[in-house]
Structure 1
Amino acid sequence: MNHIGHLHIPARTIMTPGPVEVDPRVLKAMSSSILGQFDPQFTAIMNDTMGLLRKVLQTNNHWAFPIDGTSRAGIEAMLCSVIEEGDGVLIPSFGRFGGLLTEISERCGARVHSLVCEWGEVFDPEIIIKEIKKVKPKVVAMVHGDTSTGRMQPLKEIGYACRELDVLLIVDAVATVAGTDVKTDEWMIDGLITGTQKCLSVPSGMAPITYNDRIETILMQRKSIEKGLATQTQLSMNNFDRRIRSNYFDLSQLQDYWSPARLNHHTEATSMLYGLYEGLRIILEEGLQQRFERHRVNERALVVGIEAMGLSLFGNPNFKLPTVTCINIPEGVNGDAVRTMLLEDFGIEIASSFGPLHGKIWRVGTMGYSCQQRNVLLTLGALEAVLLHHGANIHKGEAVQAALDVYKNVGRVHVK
């Protein structure tokens, strides 16, 4: 048998749109002893985590808890628990992840109505509201901030219209929660999903969600059908089709697990919950508004530095996602070669993009613990050096200085 060496993890500065660097306090919390999932000490942590999530998600919803799995698990749990066979679902898509919502909704049996806009733009809310009135869907499902294009969709007007028209609004806020303002209740969002691996600065593996009583009513109706089928009292094919098809992602069962009843559903991801608990505590210690300002300042320094270098940004600047900056790759430059050199020679990781933007833009994330002055300055300096090595025509020595001017004008913004 070949010798298997010790696990070796190289040092990295992660400036992608996710995953991001994890706060050391979170890693320490995750190394704590394992508790049984029904140990009173552990169920107390579950309850406290729900309370912390309500504050971070800016909601008074009773139900706010994590799905064990990546962000996609949370999206699937929400959609497959709400959407029934034949339900109309309107999905306005302005990037790759609108396509993900479409695929999952179709797998749930939805009649999907798609709205698509050019990548790099977002929708005028009135266009979406007009389409809602036209197709009369049960659900509007959409992304708040799409990392593939670096754009952020305004939601407030859409949320108000959905509530007025008795349509459910389900939002993928994976890239925005804890990095910019996401007002679940004020924007009248019925169901919201986020993820641990982005602005929460916790390892990938949990998808915090929240939903209100409008969605809970649907869950209880579908749960009663399941119970009827189990007792042979409602055996029509119509009722059979209305069941929540997934067991693992059945929110009606999961909320029983997170309720005081503690009905066994799965074995909780103990260490991940420790990490989420500590990550949420860190966010609230920093303060939501202070955290949003830190993200704005570091984003501004990065953008000013990129532009001072002579590079251009992709997309409509009026709707830029504050946690992701998309940079047009200069003509004649091999974008993948630049990324490889940044990683291998400087230990810095940035991202390419997807579909029509692959090979055309780089995406730099400023999220959570990665969103700090040191990382921004290192990335700008390294990117300049690599571009010069590849013969790019850029302005030498100006990027870092321009970013330093931003920090000097606003004062240092530290990760807390």
Structure 2
Amino acid sequence: MTLIPGPIDPPARLLMGPGPISAYPSVLRAMSAPLVGQYDPFMTATMAETQQLYRGVWSTANDATLVIDGTSRAGIEAALISLIRPGDRVLVPVFGRFGHLLAEIAERAMAEVHTIETAWGQVFPVSVIEEAIVRVKPTVLALVQGDTSTTMNQPLDEVGPVCAKHGVLFYTDATASLGGNAFEADEWGVDAATAGLQKCLGGPSGSAPITLSDRAVEVVRSRARIEAGIREDGDASADDFVRSNYFDLGMILDYWGPRRLNHHTEATSMLYAARECARVLLLEGRDAVIERHRLAGAAMLAGVQGLGLEVFGDASHKMNNVVAVEIPAGVPGDAARAALLEDFGIEIGTSFGPLHGRVWRIGTMGYNAREDAVLTTLAALEAVLRRFGAAVPAGGGVEAATDAYRVGRA
């Protein structure tokens, strides 16, 4: 006989890692709203509202602004597989784990992928990116803005003009950075950008905001499509077809556009969540939310330094919303993280590749970019460090973070 479990009852957690994070309460409430049919006037109006809200989040006038059903990686894949034809040259500057991901997805799109790399913990000067563009002559530049594996925030403001100068399509992955760091899609000349809800936007993973410039839409629309098994363009070569139905942006744009051509059944509850994430951000004010993340990040940075911990990477280029700290010698990183979770209900993260077991990543983002969450995490971290034999200043983290908040608000 099958034992039937009880209703879902997750433990109370304060998610202070690199994401996912604790969602805004209003986002969770929005997800419990009743479902409607996918062509109900309320549904189509909600889709249109969501598009308009995300134009504000991205700082763009792009008509092609919407959400992809799926995690942030779904947005990345939809953008790259729809923009890249087999054989296109794609340039990927890699400064962490997620640059490697962009390269892998571009390879799966059958691109000729070229990478340049810098040390983890650093970012690229725009001159290095331009030199690689001149040498490689790519069709697409695929660049992460904020890479949570290293916590670095790649400056983008000069990259768009360089791409425009050389006729290169500029795509950026803003999964970890959007909402907590500056992002100016139109001003920076970004052609395509994707993100996720589970970081600074303060929602659950499962919906991927995307915005496309007119130039990017033209590329997407130039791809031949297959609908109902019939090729629309009998003269198209095999390379013209997007090798995915679900991630074919041409078809998705028709679904979100005025024709509302059926493509898939919209994930209604996730649409509600995405709408509420954007609504909450714009209600508080985009600049105010970025400043709240900056202040919380500065306080957490001061706090871990106040505990005597060393910060990994170039702190002048770190994201507002996450900091990487070196695990003190003699402290078992995974055991300390487990103690923080089991005894205090607080989650922080480890990292990938060369940084696994070397650093902890502590996030201050979305709903958790607030003073009480920062101070509670630092107090608990101090207790755990002492338990594992680390000599840390009594109250040093909380005191330094409190001072940072005081100075930041002055």
Determine the structure 2 residue equivalent to 1:197: 198
Q: How far is the alpha carbon of 1:241 from its aligned partner?
A: 2.1
* Paired residue secondary structure (2:224): helix
Closer/same/farther in 2, CA of residues 228 and 164 from structure 1, 3 Å limit: farther
Distance in structure 1 (CA, Å) of the matches to 2:54 and 2:406: 34
Give the aligned residue type for 1:184. A
Q: How far is the alpha carbon of 1:305 from its aligned partner?
A: 1.1
Distance in structure 2 (CA, Å) of the matches to 1:167 and 1:232: 26
Distance in structure 1 (CA, Å) of the matches to 2:296 and 2:395: 19
Determine the structure 2 residue equivalent to 1:241: 239
Correspondence list, 1:255-294, <5 A? 255-294=253-292
Q: Is the 8 A contact 1:229 1:240 kept in 2?
A: no
* Paired residue secondary structure (1:127): helix
Q: How far is the alpha carbon of 1:358 from its aligned partner?
A: 0.2
**4+ residue segments displaced more than 4 Å:** 224-229
CA RMSD of aligned residues (A): 1.6
Give the aligned residue type for 1:160. P
Give the aligned residue type for 1:322. N
* Paired residue secondary structure (1:387): helix
Q: Is the 8 A contact 1:225 1:242 kept in 2?
A: no
Determine the structure 2 residue equivalent to 1:335: 333
Determine the structure 1 residue equivalent to 2:389: 391
Closer/same/farther in 2, CA of residues 279 and 243 from structure 1, 3 Å limit: same
Distance in structure 2 (CA, Å) of the matches to 1:160 and 1:193: 19
Give structure 1 stretches of 5+ with no counterpart.
none
Correspondence list, 1:72-151, <5 A? 72-151=73-152
Distance in structure 2 (CA, Å) of the matches to 1:231 and 1:258: 20
Q: 1:169-209: CA deviations, max 9, x gaps? A: 00000111110111111110100001011111111100000
Distance in structure 1 (CA, Å) of the matches to 2:139 and 2:230: 25
User: Pick from 380, 389, 399: which aligns with 1:401?
Assistant: 399
* Paired residue secondary structure (1:208): strand
Closer/same/farther in 2, CA of residues 278 and 107 from structure 1, 3 Å limit: same
User: Pick from 252, 255, 258: which aligns with 1:254?
Assistant: 252
Distance in structure 2 (CA, Å) of the matches to 1:223 and 1:190: 20
Q: How far is the alpha carbon of 1:386 from its aligned partner?
A: 0.3
Distance in structure 1 (CA, Å) of the matches to 2:407 and 2:82: 49
Give the aligned residue type for 1:35. V
Q: How far is the alpha carbon of 1:399 from its aligned partner?
A: 1.2
Q: Is the 8 A contact 2:296 2:321 kept in 1?
A: no
Give the aligned residue type for 1:356. P
Determine the structure 2 residue equivalent to 1:381: 379
Q: Is the 8 A contact 1:305 1:403 kept in 2?
A: yes
- 1:15 matched to 2:13? The reply is no
* Paired residue secondary structure (1:156): coil
Determine the structure 2 residue equivalent to 1:310: 308
Count of residues paired in the alignment: 409
Closer/same/farther in 2, CA of residues 232 and 186 from structure 1, 3 Å limit: closer
Distance in structure 2 (CA, Å) of the matches to 1:382 and 1:91: 39
Determine the structure 1 residue equivalent to 2:159: 158
Correspondence list, 1:328-367, <5 A? 328-367=326-365
Distance in structure 1 (CA, Å) of the matches to 2:234 and 2:22: 52
Give structure 2 stretches of 5+ with no counterpart.
none
Correspondence list, 1:164-243, <5 A? 164-223=165-224, 230=231, 233-234=234-235, 239-243=237-241
Distance in structure 1 (CA, Å) of the matches to 2:282 and 2:272: 16
Determine the structure 1 residue equivalent to 2:7: 6
Determine the structure 1 residue equivalent to 2:323: 325
* Paired residue secondary structure (2:223): helix
Distance in structure 2 (CA, Å) of the matches to 1:394 and 1:176: 31
Q: 1:316-362: CA deviations, max 9, x gaps? A: 11211111100000111101011000000000000000000000000
Q: How far is the alpha carbon of 1:393 from its aligned partner?
A: 2.0
Q: Is the 8 A contact 1:225 1:234 kept in 2?
A: no
Distance in structure 2 (CA, Å) of the matches to 1:410 and 1:92: 34
Q: 1:199-238: CA deviations, max 9, x gaps? A: 1111110000000111111112113688997267326xxx
Give the aligned residue type for 2:184. K
Distance in structure 2 (CA, Å) of the matches to 1:257 and 1:324: 36
Deviates more, 1:217-226 or 1:148-157: 217-226
Determine the structure 2 residue equivalent to 1:58: 59
Q: Is the 8 A contact 1:228 1:234 kept in 2?
A: no
Q: Is the 8 A contact 2:224 2:232 kept in 1?
A: no
Distance in structure 2 (CA, Å) of the matches to 1:218 and 1:403: 48
Q: Is the 8 A contact 1:27 1:275 kept in 2?
A: yes
| TM-score, normalization by structure 1 | 0.96
Q: How far is the alpha carbon of 1:395 from its aligned partner?
A: 1.6
Q: Is the 8 A contact 2:224 2:233 kept in 1?
A: no
Determine the structure 2 residue equivalent to 1:36: 37
* Paired residue secondary structure (1:184): coil
Give the aligned residue type for 1:329. I
Give the aligned residue type for 1:121. Q
Q: How far is the alpha carbon of 1:408 from its aligned partner?
A: 2.8
Q: Is the 8 A contact 2:65 2:209 kept in 1?
A: yes
Give the aligned residue type for 1:240. A
